[in-house]
Each structure stands twice: as structure tokens, then as C-alpha cells.
Amino acid sequence: MKTSRRVNVLEYLIREFVPIAKQLEAKGKKILYLNIGDPLRYDFKTPKYIRDALKDAVDKGYNYYSRARGIDELLEAIVEKERKVNNVPISPDRVVVTTGVSEAINFVIAALVEPGDKVLLPSPTYPLYANFTKFYDGQPVFYKLDEKNGWMPDLDDIRSKIDGKTKMLIIINPNNPTGGVYEKNILMGLLDLAAEHNLVIVSDEIYDRIIFEGEFYSTASLSKDTVVVGLNGFSKTYLMTGWRLGYVYVHDPTDSVGQEIYNAIVKMAMNRLCAPTPIQVAAAKALRGPQKHIANFILKLKERRDAVMKIIEGSGCLSAVKPKGAFYVFPKIECKGDWKDDKEFAYKLLIEEGVLIVPGSGFYAGDRNHFRSVILPPIEILEEAFEKIINFIEKYKVS
């Protein structure tokens, strides 16, 4: 029996080396995990008031199916949050609760992409956008994020890649994997391009409250004539990764096709029934409860980012744009080495040094000289891991 062609296009390098790491660990080798953006794998915990809200929801009987688009309490809390935090004017009847942002990505691309449609994706990008575009027979078209300009989108490069088949422009801000936070003028330029060519913008803002410097602008808050489909969730800011809850909203300033897009997303949601009801109840409490943990979370992350940047800047073999948001760094290897490409580099590093990172090609980076590391572990673990990475590069570099 043959498996389907569509499944064979799916790639996810972020997890590909994990089975190898587990095998090495079982044999007694110490592994330093820098691959997955899960704060709860390190020294962060879900805030107690959110944990208590989930227990209370279960005990009070919120264990049934909800509506496909989500419970009223959560939809209203999401609208309040987006208005207050991101200045986005949406209503509950344009929001759908999803099982994580991953499901939201699937829903949006399924709802909008026909075979042959082109989807503009940043390079580097979060791989699920390319995966689902190919899964639904769309064509990923990658636009440049300019490393020399803080990983900002290159507007001229985007403009040159738009044609009659282009349907959608994806923005990931703050960016995964680079940590870039887009400037207001860049976002305005992206909105102008989308309006000129009648494109829908999909703006992934899951890291919207994890900002170290500068100001975050939600794409929808700046849009006057462009449809923006916003994606967000609870995994990162609210430390609820394993709870798997996100949301998607449709912001349509001119009230043109927003209802049609929203209805299509709801159809996708109906076909998976609903997101977990007790977790939705807890998520509403998360949004409306004390937010003190966020400042502490950002403070810790900033200290860890600064420690990593200090190591990189003094290494002589690595460089990196200082991330302004999210919890990743995307270093460039500044010398040639005895490895075929970034994937072989990551494999050899894991086998020899016990450090698990993600090769840049897993994010459709334009070259094979980058890798992604989280900045989530305590500073002593980050220092140990990056010392091993630097030693490995020095050992195998060639002139």
C-alpha cells in the first residue's frame, strides 16, 4: 500500500533529530536540548492561577463539547485582549478558537489556497506554513528577510515575486526563527503591497507580548483596506504549550470578503468538533487574570539572550542579529567546516557534543550556514552548550 503523496511533502526538522538524541541519552550521553521552543521543558511553570482555573473547570463540569468556534467567555476575552494589548478592533463573531496555532495555520491555508495558488512566505520561515501550502497543492514562494537589516522583510524582493497567482502574504512577527520584531514602516509597506495586489495577509503573532526592545505593532491594527487574518495563542506568553490552545481572527476593514473567509475557517473547525472545553474556560481566566508572570518571564529571557549574545560576539566563528522578541537566536557560522551542509553540522554536533540545535534549512533559510537555538535554558546550560558548539566548529573548521 502506498501512503498519500500529500503526507510525503511534510517536513519538520525541529523534531527530526529528537529520536537520535533520545537513543544517545538512553546510552548515558548527556544531551543539551536547544531545539524546541517549549519554556516548560526548562525552568518555567504555568502560572498557578491558570492551573487552578483548569482544575476548577473540570470539577465544575465543563467537560462537554463546545461550539466549533469556541465558548463565548473565551471569544469575548480574546476580543478584549486584542483591543487592549494590540489595538485590534475585532468582534467575537470573527474569532475561532483552535487547538494551538498549528491548527489555525492548517485551517487558514485550507480555507484560502486552491491548487496552483502562490503563497508568499518569509525566508527563513516557520516550516508549517510551507508544509500546509504544499499539502493543499499551493506553491510556496519565499521572500527575503534581510539579515543585514535586522531580519526585516525585503519589500522590493516581495514586490518582484508577486504575480497573478499570488493569493496570500504570510508575516511572522515577532519572528520565528530570527527573533526579529518588525518596524511600523515595514508593516505599512507590507500592507500597501497587499492592498495593491489584492492579497490576504496572514499575521502570526504568537510572540506578541515577548518583546525585549522597541515596540510591537499588530498588523491588523495598522490596516485600513487590507484583510488581515491574525493568528495567536496561549502556548508561549501564558506558558501553556502542552494545553494546545490558540485562535484565529479575521479583520476586514472594508467588510468585503471577511465574512466569507471566516465562514470557511468555521467549516474547518466544525469538522474537528471543538477545542478542549475546560482548557477554553481556563484560557479565558488566563487572559482576564493577573498578568504579573509576563514581566518576570521577559526579564529572565532577556538575561539569557544577553548571555548568549555575549558568547556569540566573542566566539570569532559565530555571528547573530540580536533578537528583539520571541525566544530564539539564529546564529550564522562564519567559517567553512568539515561538514557538507547545516543538517550534517547539526547531526555531527549532536553525536559528538550532545547538543541538539535545528539546522537553518529546516526553516527554509536561503543559505546553509545558520542554525536556530532557543534561549530558554538557564544561563549555565546555555553557556555549556555554546562552548561545545564553538569548540566543535573550531575542531572542524577548514581554511
In a domain, 2, yes or no: no
Same domain, 284 and 296: no
In a domain, 279, yes or no: yes
In a domain, 106, yes or no: yes
Would you state the pLDDT for residue 252? 96
Total structural domains in the chain?
A: 2
Supply the CATH number for residue 366's domain: 3.90.1150.10
The 3-state secondary structure of 11-60 reads: CCHHHHCHHHHHHHHHCCCCCEECCCCCHHHCCCCCCHHHHHHHHHHHHC
What string of pLDDT tens digits covers the 399 residues of the chain? 788 888 887 887 777 889 999 999 999 999 999 999 999 999 999 999 999 999 999 999 999 999 999 999 999 999 999 999 999 999 999 999 999 999 999 999 999 999 999 999 999 999 999 999 999 999 999 999 999 999 999 999 999 999 999 999 999 999 999 999 999 999 999 999 999 999 999 999 999 999 999 999 999 999 999 999 999 999 999 999 999 999 999 999 999 899 999 999 999 999 999 999 999 999 999 999 999 999 999 999 999 999 999 999 999 999 999 999 999 999 999 999 899 999 999 999 999 999 999 999 999 998 889 999 999 999 999 999 999 999 999 999 987
Nearest 10 degrees: CA dihedral of 347, 349, 351, 352? 150
Same domain, 113 and 255: yes
Same domain, 64 and 78: yes
d(CA 132, CA 205): 18
Same domain, 166 and 203: yes
The 3-state secondary structure of the chain reads: CCCCCCHHHCCCHHHHCHHHHHHHHHCCCCCEECCCCCHHHCCCCCCHHHHHHHHHHHHCCCCCCCCCCCCHHHHHHHHHHHHHHHCCCCCHHHEEEECHHHHHHHHHHHHHCCCCCEEEEEECCCHHHHHHHHHCCCEEEEEEEEHHHCCEECHHHHHHCCCCCEEEEEEECCCCCCCCCCCHHHHHHHHHHHHHHCCEEEEECCCCCCECCCCCCCHHHHCCCCCEEEEEECCCCCCCHHHCCEEEEEECCCCCCHHHHHHHHHHHHHCCCCCCHHHHHHHHHHHHCCCHHHHHHHHHHHHHHHHHHHHHHCCCCEECCCCCECCEECCEECCCECCCCHHHHHHHHHHHHCEECEEHHHHCCCCCCEEEEECCCCHHHHHHHHHHHHHHHHHHECC
Same domain, 321 and 274: no
Percent of the chain with pLDDT over 70: 100
Same domain, 345 and 266: no
Provide the grid cell at 331. Answer: 546564529
In a domain, 225, yes or no: yes
In a domain, 20, yes or no: yes
Same domain, 114 and 207: yes
Domain that holds residue 39: 7-45+292-396
Q: Is the peptide bond before 115 cis (omega within 30 degrees of 0)?
A: no
Would you state the pLDDT for residue 13? 75
Same domain, 182 and 279: yes
Length of the chain: 399
For the purposes of burial, counting CB atoms within 10 Å of the CB of 115, is it exposed (0-12), middle (13-18) or buried (19 or more)? exposed
Same domain, 271 and 300: no
Supply the CATH number for residue 175's domain: 3.40.640.10
330 forms beta bridges with none
In a domain, 1, yes or no: no
Same domain, 184 and 53: yes
User: Of 246, 269, 288, which residue constitutes the final position of a domain?
Assistant: 288
User: Of 288, 310, 343, which residue constitutes the final position of a domain?
Assistant: 288
Would you state the pLDDT for residue 309? 98
Same domain, 341 and 380: yes
Would you state the pLDDT for residue 68? 98
Contact 251, 228 (CB under 8 A): yes
User: Of 244, 260, 288, which residue constitutes the final position of a domain?
Assistant: 288
In a domain, 323, yes or no: yes
Same domain, 200 and 82: yes
In a domain, 139, yes or no: yes
Would you state the pLDDT for residue 11? 80
In tens, the pLDDT along 131-171 reads 999 999 999 999 999 999 999 999 999 999 999 999 999 99
Taking the alpha carbons of 232, 237, 241, 244 in that order, is the dihedral positive or negative? Answer: negative
